[in-house]
Amino acid sequence: MTDFILSIEGTEFGHKLAMILALVSAVAHAVFGALQKGRYDPWLTRGAIDIFYCLMALPIALFVFPMPDAHLWLLLAGAWVIHVAYKWFMAKAYERAAYTVVYPVVRGIGPLVTVIFAGFVFDEVFSPIQWLGVALLSGAIFALAGWNLRKATVDRQILWGALGFAGVTGILVAVYTTYDAFGMRAATDPFTFLFWFFVIDGWVFPIIAYLRWQKMEVTPPLKPLLQRGFIGASIAFVSFGSVMLATRLDKVGEAAVLRETSTVFAALIGWLFLKETVGPVRATLMAIIAAGAVIVEFGG
């Protein structure tokens, strides 16, 4: 697999595969986000997810791919710091407001800032048409958040705090996307960085979740929580792994933009499987998000 990935870097086939991987990541991330904001405390859900993907990745990292060298360990340590911060701010936002409000804010900021960061770090250049696509996608995602915000029943002071946490989380999404892409490209074997990332990223939140669980007056049953964690961990491998490989194969900015069509897939999942009402406004905004992603992909 490693030889295959390295052989198609910079090729037309690599570009097409990166596009597919980013879209696969978008679908998986829509499901992943809904899992974290569900019936359980978001800190507990995140801890259950992380412990499973840490344990699932550990034997593969140890016995299948080469050990990281000193330089790669430093990069992995940096990734750990950034992702812990991202997950902390994400959980704080989910504590305060509805998933339908928080998630679009995070995903709207992420691609816009990632494109800017990728320009500085990787010298990526977007055409004016592609910038139009970015503006359409991010603008429509923010409009979707605003539309959902109108229906929110949470106290306004709490809601503004949630939006603040969501804004910081969106910036951290751009930071980790750019940083992880740098790590994937710095590694001789990208899968070494990928699997060791899952190992080192997965041990902090289980501890936080356990301490939080112990302090609860009414503790939730562990079996369904762990089941959700296992499902979430499996999805995380697809979601995060796919987009990280996409950033190795092609432009980081394009992969980030395509991934944010996850807001469209989240709405579609809600409509098809949860019988949620989409309505003309949300349907229009979803169409604009999709159009923005298409313009970015084919406007270069």
Handedness of CA 145, 150, 154, 155 (dihedral sign): positive
First to last CA, the chain: 29
pLDDT band with cut points at 50, 70 and 90 for residue 262: confident
Question: pTM, whole model, 2 decimals?
Answer: 0.90
- pLDDT of 217 reads 85
How large is the average pLDDT for residues 66-73?
Answer: 94
Neighbour-count burial for 114-128, b at 16+ CB within 10 Å, e otherwise: bbbbbeeebebebee
Q: For Cα atoms 73, 237, 270, give the angle at the middle one, nearest 5 degrees.
A: 140
- pLDDT of 231 reads 92
How large is the average pLDDT for residues 101-105?
Answer: 82
Q: For Cα atoms 201, 218, 233, give the angle at the middle one, nearest 5 degrees.
A: 25
pLDDT band with cut points at 50, 70 and 90 for residue 10: confident
How large is the average pLDDT for residues 93-111?
Answer: 82
DSSP output for 118-154: HHHHH-----HHHHHHHHHHHHHHHHHHHHHHHT--S
How large is the average pLDDT for residues 233-248?
Answer: 94
Tens digits of per-residue pLDDT, 164-195? 999 999 999 999 999 999 999 999 999 999 99
Q: Enumerate the domain spans of the chain.
A: 2-298
